[in-house]
Amino acid sequence: MSGVIGVLTAGGDCPGLNAVIRAVVGRATEHHDAEVVGVQNGWEGLMNGRTRPLDRDDVRGILSRGGTILGTSRMDPYVHGDGYESVRRTIERNGIESLIVIGGDGTLRTALKLSEEGLSVVGVPKTIDNDIAATDYTFGFDTALSIATEAVDRIATTAESHNRIMLVEVMGRTKGWIATYAAIAGGADGLLIPEVAYDLDDIAAVLKRRHRQGRTYSVVVVAEGVAPPAGMPVDHPIDAFGFERLGGVAYQIAPELESRTGFETRVTVLGHLQRGGTPTAFDRVLGTRFGAAAVDLALAGHSQVMVAVQSDKMVSVPLTDACQSIRGVDEDLYGLAATFFN
Ligand code: F6P
């Protein structure tokens, strides 16, 4: 054997997680003759010693399955324990020499802190939100985008029959990648994302002009993370782990647009539909590339790094680069979507 690698999935799940796990196990066992220990339920399993060995047979048939065979949680050793001390026993008992951490920005920040305390860590960028810095894409985004685009297409035909305005709310906690790409791919007539301040009077004027010019419906894509209309409360329940539970801002926006335009306005919130089900081919391939690259880095002795895709090449970036900001949609891309709001 040439080493023991741990692997865990933490934070919200994401299509393609199983592709990454499969690639980690396949690359480690078949290519490097190394051993893999799967940590169950994210950081919670690492704190409580819940692990299991993973071999090639354990990961057969999972490539096309959504979710994660390891389970995940939003527990954090720095919030629910005392940092490295709360995971040290599991690391030592399993002889884990390097930990592959598959997660979004919060998980990667925790991984960075642990690596600063001495744990050898390689990160893999995971989120449907596509907002992790230093990588062109995260896996899961493409799957969520294809679901959101199909929803826009479907909503458009029913909107057309009723001369309605339809708001399609998609995920995107702080950034509007899914919303912007779905708006471009679905030919939406309006787009609200956290990166760009919106004015309901301006949007209503554009929509009214559309309908005056003979269009019989309008679809507006709304990212869940946009602020509610001026004067309305931000009212997000807090979950068991202290995270704001987003979703539903479109219900605050819809009556405002209806009263300004005079057109009946309806809302569809896609929610977790975007995270469930089988990953697209793109996400399976990206997840496989990420998983294999992470193993190569871990077994070559690298730590405090994250695998990333830049200009279609697998690269390794410092974990600090990935954690220092959240990547948003730039003005050009928003402008491209807005070209067609007429
Ligand atoms: O961060 C990814 C994400 O999908 C966000 O877009 C969304 O707000 C959040 O996860 C939902 O998480 P949960 O599964 O805890 O509801």
Give the whole-angstrom CA distance, residue 72 versus residue 99: 15
Radius of gyration of the chain (CA): 22
Residue 338 forms part of a structural domain: no
- Note whether 189 and 250 are same-domain residues: yes
- Kind of pairing, strands 165-170 and 218-223? parallel
Give the whole-angstrom CA distance, residue 14 versus residue 297: 23
Residue 259 predicted with pLDDT over 70:
yes
Q: What does the block give as tokens for 341?
A: 């709001």
Q: Based on the structure, what is the number of domains in the chain?
A: 2
- Note whether 207 and 259 are same-domain residues: yes
| Residues 117-146: tens digit of each pLDDT | 999 999 999 999 999 999 999 999 999 999
Q: What does the block give as tokens for 208?
A: 């009214």
- The domain that contains 32 carries what CATH number? 3.40.50.450
> Could you tell me the residue range of the domain that residue 268 belongs to?
142-276
Q: What does the block give as tokens for 36?
A: 């893999």
Residue 241 predicted with pLDDT over 80:
no
The distance of Cα 221 from the centroid of its chain, to the nearest Å, equals: 18
- The domain that contains 245 carries what CATH number? 3.40.50.460
Query: What percent of the chain stands above pLDDT 90?
Result: 95
Average pLDDT over residues 308-334: 97
Average pLDDT over residues 234-246: 85
Residue 242 predicted with pLDDT over 90:
no
Residue 329 forms part of a structural domain: no
- Note whether 218 and 199 are same-domain residues: yes
**Which atom belonging to ligand 1 lies closest to the Cα atom of 224?**
8
Q: Which of 238, 256, 276 is the last residue of a domain?
A: 276
Question: What is the CB < 6 Å shell around ligand 1?
Answer: 12, 104, 127-129, 171-173, 224, 239, 245-246, 275
Q: Is residue 269 very low, low, confident or very high in pLDDT (cuts 50, 70, 90)?
A: very high
The distance of Cα 330 from the centroid of its chain, to the nearest Å, equals: 18
> Which amino acid is present at 20?
V
Q: Which of 220, 244, 276 is the last residue of a domain?
A: 276
Backbone φ and ψ for 56, nearest 5 degrees, come out as -55, -40
**Which atom belonging to ligand 1 lies closest to the Cα atom of 178?**
6
Give the whole-angstrom CA distance, residue 196 versus residue 330: 9
Global pTM value: 0.97
313 DSSP β-pair partners: 310
Q: Is residue 266 very low, low, confident or very high in pLDDT (cuts 50, 70, 90)?
A: very high
- Note whether 90 and 48 are same-domain residues: yes
Give the whole-angstrom CA distance, residue 100 versus residue 263: 51
